[in-house]
Every structure is written in C-alpha cells, then in structure tokens.
C-alpha cells in the first residue's frame, strides 16, 4: 500500500527583532535571538547586519560603548559580531 504525504503550510506571524536595553544579564538571550535572526542570515550583507544591531541596542548608554561613533561598514561588522559572541559566552 503506497502512502501519500500531505504538506500543510502554516502562515506564521512575523517575528520582531529583539532589543537590548542595557541589562548585562540579558545580553546572552538578546545575542542568541539576534544572531539567529540577523547575524547568521546569509541574505543580509555586513552593513545591513550592523545597521540592525545599531537599531536593536536601545539603551543610549550602551550604544556609544559598542559603536564609538565608527562608520558602518563590512569590516566593522566582523569586529562587532566577534565581540558580541565573546560577551555572550
């Protein structure tokens, strides 16, 4: 007897990107979610990834510490993502 498979497609709601409000105890959870949605997304270039990270950091005290007013570019993303991964361990 041949079995047939039926594919059910469910329309999931859009996910919102996580935000980080400066609590060091919540950094790991933030980075895990951000990494899954943005950092590991091959459809985004490094400039886009860094822009999303800037938008996700909503604490005005944290933003200058992470970015130090540097321009957004591909080289910066590599440095920031490495720092973020280290801080999440």
- From first to last of its 89 residues, what are the pLDDT tens digits of the chain? 556 677 788 887 888 899 988 888 888 899 899 989 998 899 998 888 888 888 888 877 766 656 655 555 555 666 666 656 555 54
Q: Is there a contact between 58 and 30 (Cβ–Cβ < 8 Å)? A: no
- Report yes or no on whether pTM surpasses 0.75: no
Sign of the CA dihedral running 54, 81, 62, 30: positive
């Amino acid at each position: 007897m041949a079995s047939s498979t039926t594919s059910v497609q469910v329309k999931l709601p859009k996910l919102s990107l996580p935000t980080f409000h400066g609590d060091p105890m919540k950094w790991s959870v933030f980075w895990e979610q951000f990494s899954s949605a943005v950092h590991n997304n091959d459809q985004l270039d490094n400039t886009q990834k860094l822009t999303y990270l800037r938008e996700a950091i909503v604490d005005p005290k944290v933003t200058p510490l992470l970015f130090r007013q540097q321009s957004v570019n591909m080289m910066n993303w590599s440095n920031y993502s490495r720092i973020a991964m280290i801080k999440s361990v």
